[in-house]
Amino acid sequence: MVESFFKNDEGHNVTVNDDRYRAMNTNFFIPELNNHDVQELWFQQDGVTCHTARGTIDLLKDTFGDRLISRFGPVNWPPRSCDLTPLDYFQWVYVKSLVYADKPQTLDHLEDNIRRVIADIRPQMLLHTWPSFTLRISRLCFCSYVI
């Protein structure tokens, strides 16, 4: 499992900013991608400020070329597209419902819950989201065409 909490050298939680996000991509994500055959992989991210900082976009363009979907990227992030991916319309809702089920009272408890819930997600569960995803895309395209 991937450790995805941002902490400083003392182990305290910190806010994700463009420097930390870029460092995570440079030091972990991109090297991890290099261990796999991902020449055709597309990378999609939303318009959060740390994702769209000039240095971050330049790094991601160098890595993904024209296969970057992001605000200020070669393929612009679609506006108001919060339900465009299975992660957005399924996984985060599912994870949140389980993570907060026992009302964690501390950050450590919350982090433990997040780790446990994410570790329990199986690929088969995500495969079941694709029929709904294709339906959402067809509706999005139809609505864009009609409007």
Q: What is the CA radius of gyration of the chain?
A: 17
Confidence of residue 89 (pLDDT cuts 50, 70, 90): low
What residues contact residue 67 under an 8 Å CB cut-off, 6+ apart? Answer: 40, 41, 42, 43, 74, 75
pLDDT score of 85 more than 80: no
Average pLDDT on 22-50 reads 87
Q: Is the model more confident about 87 or about 6?
A: 6
β-pair type (68-69, 43-44): parallel
Average pLDDT on 85-110 reads 84
Q: What is the pLDDT of residues 111-139, one digit of tens each?
A: 899 989 988 988 888 777 777 767 766 76
| CA dist., res. 36 & res. 131, Å (int) | 27
Three state DSSP letters for 35-79: CCCCCCCCEECCCCHHHHCHHHHHHHHHHHCCCEECCCCCECCCC
Of the given ranges (36-45, 54-63, 124-133), which has the lowest mean pLDDT?
124-133
- Which of 9, 40, 69, 91 shows the shortest CA–CA distance to 60? 69
In 3-state terms, what secondary structure has residue 7? strand
Q: Are the C-beta atoms of residues 2 and 119 closer than 8 Å to each other?
A: no
Q: Are the C-beta atoms of residues 14 and 7 closer than 8 Å to each other?
A: yes
